[in-house]
Amino acid sequence: MLEVKGLSFSYGDFSVEDVCFEVREGEILSLLGPNGSGKTTILKSIYGLLKPEKKCVFVDGKDFHSLSLKERAKLAGYVPQSHHPPFPYTVLDVVVMGLASQLGVFESPREEHYQKALEKLKLIGMERFKDKPYTQLSGGQLQLVLIARALVQEPKVLLLDEPTAHLDFKNQVRVLGIVKRLAKEESISAVMTLHDPNLASLYSDKIALVKEGRIRALGKPNEILKEEILEEVYGVPICILEFNGFRLILPKTEVV
């Protein structure tokens, strides 16, 4: 279980203040909000890539930031927004890097480690790409490989930074479907940042609406995705349609 208790971080005139939530095993929490609202900052602060002001993140009751990077990597995986490395490593080489925390400085991965990486590639249906250069993958494939790399860490907590950015419709659905399945099957507590309220509502157990570095609302999708809250967070007129028990969040457009 991941608990965030009063996370605050400031940098220049931007600050994130008093973020609190908890994510149980198998649950997905989405951080939802406009650009520049501090979603990624919150995610990076949870992992300790940015240093929050006091101890505030606990994984299974342990103070997460008192652990070394190595120990943190064994508990939590971070899936960054993908970018290209300078060299075209194969997909398998990239996934096996997730085992860095389990290898000493003088060690290189051995057969058993490559097997483990291959297993995780199979789990997300990417094993046929194992020898392909990572730099030649499409956006959706890159995202899945980065998820596989986080999975070989066998994390209890998974943090995903905009896993659907730059993906087409099909790949958005595919990637989020896999995240949801993994959270349930592997009992992972997942936190992700998203842009699309509809996707957040479909794939999350909890949503935190973020505006200007503060959480404005936190709860189950159906409880908090309300017109007036969304309008306040996003600053645009919004209407919500109910259809077969789904809530569709749409911008109010002036149709000519």
Query: By 3-state DSSP, what share of the chain in percent is helix, strand and coil, each rounded to 5?
Result: 40, 25, 35
Our finding on whether 107 is near another protein (CB under 8 A) is yes
* Residue 52 or 98 having the CB closest to another protein: 98
Our finding on whether 49 is near another protein (CB under 8 A) is yes
Nearest to 229 by CA among 207, 199, 202, 244: 207
Our finding on whether 40 is near another protein (CB under 8 A) is no
Give least dist CB 60 to another protein, A.
18
The answer to whether the beta carbons of residues 82 and 100 sit under 8 Å apart is no
Our finding on whether 90 is near another protein (CB under 8 A) is yes
Phi, psi (deg, nearest 5) at residue 24: -80, 170
Our finding on whether 105 is near another protein (CB under 8 A) is yes
Our finding on whether 65 is near another protein (CB under 8 A) is no
Our finding on whether 52 is near another protein (CB under 8 A) is no
Our finding on whether 108 is near another protein (CB under 8 A) is yes
Our finding on whether 109 is near another protein (CB under 8 A) is yes
DSSP-assigned letter for residue 1: -
User: For the chain, how many residues are written?
Assistant: 256
Nearest to 191 by CA among 18, 74, 24: 24
Of 137-166, which residues contact another protein (CB under 8 A)?
149-150, 153
Which of these ranges, 21-29, 81-89, 163-171, 210-218, lies near another protein under the rule CB under 8 A?
81-89
* Residue 73 or 207 having the CB closest to another protein: 73
Our finding on whether 213 is near another protein (CB under 8 A) is no
Size of the site for another protein (CB under 8 A): 35
Would you call 47 exposed, middle or buried from its count of C-beta atoms within 10 A (0-12, 13-18, 19+)?
A: buried
Please state, in angstroms and as integers, the Cα–Cα distance from residue 229 to each residue in 32, 195, 202, 223, 239, following that order.
Answer: 12, 16, 18, 11, 11
Our finding on whether 244 is near another protein (CB under 8 A) is no
Give least dist CB 247 to another protein, A.
34
Nearest to 4 by CA among 216, 233, 191: 191
The answer to whether the beta carbons of residues 144 and 126 sit under 8 Å apart is yes
Interacting residue ranges for another protein, rule: CB under 8 A: 47, 49, 68-74, 77-78, 80, 84-90, 93, 97-101, 103, 105-109, 135, 149-150, 153
